[in-house]
Amino acid sequence: MNKLLDVENLTLQFDTDEGRITAVDNVSFDLEAGEVMGLVGESGSGKSVTAKSLMKLNARNAVYSDETGVKLHLESGEIEIMSLNTSAEMQVVRGGAISMIFQEPMASFAPAISIGDQMVEQLMIHTDMNKKQSKQLSIEMLERVGISDAATRFNQYAFELSGGMRQRAMIAMALSTKPKLLIADEPTTALDVTIQAQVIDLMKDLVEEFGMGIIFITHDLGVVAQTADKVAVMYLGRIVEQGTVRDVIRRPAHPYTKGLLAALPRLDDLDSPLVPIPGDIPSPLERPPGCVFSTRCGVAIEGRCTVDVPKFVELGDGHRVACHLPLAELTGS
């Protein structure tokens, strides 16, 4: 597989009335073409802000550190996203090389413009197709995502479609320009389970067909286990564990990842109690010193975890964990 994306030392702060707050802290990961990476964590962990940084889509008060590097490797050459400034420069990336789909499709579609007109407009901006070709491809894409009577739906407005259909229409629009990287932000959370499974299957098929890379943002490790090749677990703006799905889900090492997995319902043992992680993720304004998880960690080491920021420990095959616990305790060996 070919390298598609390199994110290095991504650090993002926001200037607010309460001062400058850190939303993403020194995050690094990479992605190959045809690979799916799950970005996992609770609300407030920094997943969406991280993903939006890949398109510089964050609000105007966002401040990226000088060390931040986000490199997109395309056949036509490399693009350093952080060095793009004008909207013309950004247009190559936004909706072109990178597409994003959101949890709530109503946020992506303009309410007063038909689905079809929005799809055609995007294609005419990002490809050299004419209007007729754009319309034809848009209808084809709506059919591809399983929307029946696509030619009629093409002329409808977002509010006229059911939730599942809107989600699929958004995926069709996001994929019609054949992006190299698709960022899917909680794309199935608002859907019922049957539609959720269909959307996941569809995305897997499309990865194979188009060889694109996908970053799949979710709070649900179960969905990641079904869809992703590798996973990064985030907490309060930091990656605390990353590796292949097999390693992170079968052999979780970080206390937070273990907590997320213990909180999942078990279909093989419906009587087993759900064990939620105690407490809430702190506000970025009250970021704990040392390990960001220390305020909720049941195995924190006194005098160390609240003082020192843990460095990554390599466990092999790209599996790494940021925790002060001794190796034997992390790996359970």
> Which residue ranges make up the site for ligand SF4 (CB under 6 A)?
254-255, 291, 293-294, 297, 299-301, 305, 310, 323-325
Judged by beta carbon, residue 73 or residue 254, the one nearer ligand SF4 is: 254
Shortest distance, CB of residue 256 to ligand SF4, whole angstroms? 6
Residues in the chain: 333
Shortest distance, CB of residue 162 to ligand SF4, whole angstroms? 42
Q: How far apart are CA 204 and CA 216, in angstroms?
A: 11
What 8-state DSSP symbol labels residue 249? I
Shortest distance, CB of residue 299 to ligand SF4, whole angstroms? 5
Shortest distance, CB of residue 315 to ligand SF4, whole angstroms? 14
Contact 290, 302 (CB under 8 A): no
Where helices occur in the chain by DSSP H, the ranges are 47-53, 87-91, 115-126, 131-144, 150-154, 163-176, 193-210, 221-227, 245, 255-262, 327-331
Q: Are strands 3-16 and 19-32 parallel, antiparallel or unpaired?
A: antiparallel
Tally of CA atoms within 13 A in the half-sphere of 226 that contains its CB: 15
Shortest distance, CB of residue 303 to ligand SF4, whole angstroms? 11
In angstroms, the Cα distances linking 122 to 130, 135, 320 are 11, 11, 39
Judged by beta carbon, residue 66 or residue 286, the one nearer ligand SF4 is: 286
Q: How far apart are CA 217 and CA 41, in angstroms?
A: 9
- φ, ψ of residue 8 in degrees (nearest 5): -125, 125
Nearest in space to 182 (alpha carbons), one of 170, 166, 194:
170
Judged by beta carbon, residue 266 or residue 304, the one nearer ligand SF4 is: 304
Judged by beta carbon, residue 93 or residue 232, the one nearer ligand SF4 is: 232
Judged by beta carbon, residue 29 or residue 293, the one nearer ligand SF4 is: 293
Judged by beta carbon, residue 84 or residue 321, the one nearer ligand SF4 is: 321
Shortest distance, CB of residue 204 to ligand SF4, whole angstroms? 32
Shortest distance, CB of residue 296 to ligand SF4, whole angstroms? 8
Judged by beta carbon, residue 82 or residue 309, the one nearer ligand SF4 is: 309
Q: What is the DSSP string of 55-116?
A: TT-S-TTEEE-TT-EEEEEETTEEEEGGG--SHHHHHTTBTTTEEEE-S-GGGTS-TTS-HH
